[in-house]
């Protein structure tokens, strides 16, 4: 089958098919599935689906995605931007465009795809317990434009309704809390171990020693206690949305 014929059958542009053929773009698993049927490959293309799911993550986020997939509890505090697991695709793309040095177009799309793929944690059964605390400024900074931010806030209100998600807002007026040192993330696994990181300590590197994790647990616990309650936070987000 020629490239134009395959592109038409899959609903992709010819340029995309050529990039996949030469390894410049990583195909989505559903693309491989459809291509296997169209080309009568008898499962040979489907056999690469797990590899393609992993390859969609750039190396620098692949380990993070694997840890998130193992987690039974995730405690996440963000102080500069809305956390990646809560981001819409258009918000993530606009945010990544602000990074310097700038990503090339293909690199940018790969980073966006990887960030969206990490959101599979919401679809797991059983799902992990997810706790988010976001600084007020992250809800007001108009990444992209006002409409992008509106859709982002609307998305967060929907995510907050999930029974395994607890979303809280830290008002800017609450200045005396340990989140001023930077982001805090703690992932806990079924075997009782965990992994965490923070901007403020340990050189920003992931840590897993129980003593270090206790520091991060303590810090996150104080942050969560000083933030608005989940109910108050939803009202706050709705009010912020109404101001846009």
pLDDT value of position 45:
82
Which residue in 175, 187, 190 sits closest to 226, CA to CA? 175
pLDDT value of position 23:
72
Q: What is the DSSP letter of 100?
A: S
User: pTM for the complete prediction?
Assistant: 0.77
Ranges of residues in the chain with a pLDDT under 70 are 49-65
pLDDT value of position 50:
66
pLDDT value of position 52:
67
pLDDT value of position 200:
73
Pairing of strands 184-189, 71-78: antiparallel
Per the omega criterion (within 30 degrees of 0), is the bond before 232 cis? Answer: no
pLDDT value of position 242:
95
What is the b/e burial string over 67-91, where b = at least 16 CB atoms within 10 angstroms of the residue's CB?
bbeebbebbbbbbebbbbbbbbebb
Strands (E), 44-98: 71-78
Strands (E), 108-211: 129-135, 165-170, 184-189, 194-198
| Right CATH for 70-86+120-243 from 3.30.870.10, 3.40.50.2300, 3.30.420.40, 3.30.479.30 | 3.30.870.10
pLDDT by residue (tens digit) across 118-138? 888 898 889 999 999 999 999
3-state helix, strand and coil shares in percent for the chain, rounded to the nearest 5? 55, 15, 30
pLDDT value of position 34:
87
Structure tokens at 137: 């400024």
Domain-wise residue ranges, the chain: 3-54, 70-86+120-243
């Amino acid at each position: 089958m020629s490239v134009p014929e395959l592109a038409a059958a899959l609903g992709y542009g010819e340029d995309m098919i050529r990039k996949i053929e030469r390894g410049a773009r990583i195909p989505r698993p559903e693309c491989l599935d459809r291509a296997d049927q169209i080309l009568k490959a008898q499962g040979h293309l489907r056999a690469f689906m797990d590899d393609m799911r992993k390859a969609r993550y750039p190396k620098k986020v692949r380990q993070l995605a694997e840890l998130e997939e193992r987690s039974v509890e995730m405690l996440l505090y963000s102080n500069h931007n809305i956390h990646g697991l809560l981001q819409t695709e258009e918000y993530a793309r606009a945010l990544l465009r602000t990074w310097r040095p700038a990503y090339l177009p293909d690199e940018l799309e790969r980073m966006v795809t990887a960030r969206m793929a990490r959101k599979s944690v919401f679809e797991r059964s059983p799902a992990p317990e997810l706790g988010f605390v976001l600084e007020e400024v992250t809800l007001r900074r108009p990444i992209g434009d006002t409409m992008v931010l509106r859709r982002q806030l609307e998305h967060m209100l929907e995510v907050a309704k999930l029974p395994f998600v607890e979303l809280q807002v830290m008002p800017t007026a609450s200045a005396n809390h340990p989140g001023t040192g930077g982001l805090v993330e703690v992932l806990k696994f079924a075997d009782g171990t965990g992994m965490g990181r923070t901007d403020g300590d340990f050189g920003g590197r992931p840590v897993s020693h129980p003593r270090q994790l206790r520091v991060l647990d303590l810090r996150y616990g104080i942050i969560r206690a000083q933030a608005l309650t989940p109910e108050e936070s939803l009202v706050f987000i709705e009010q912020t949305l109404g101001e846009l």
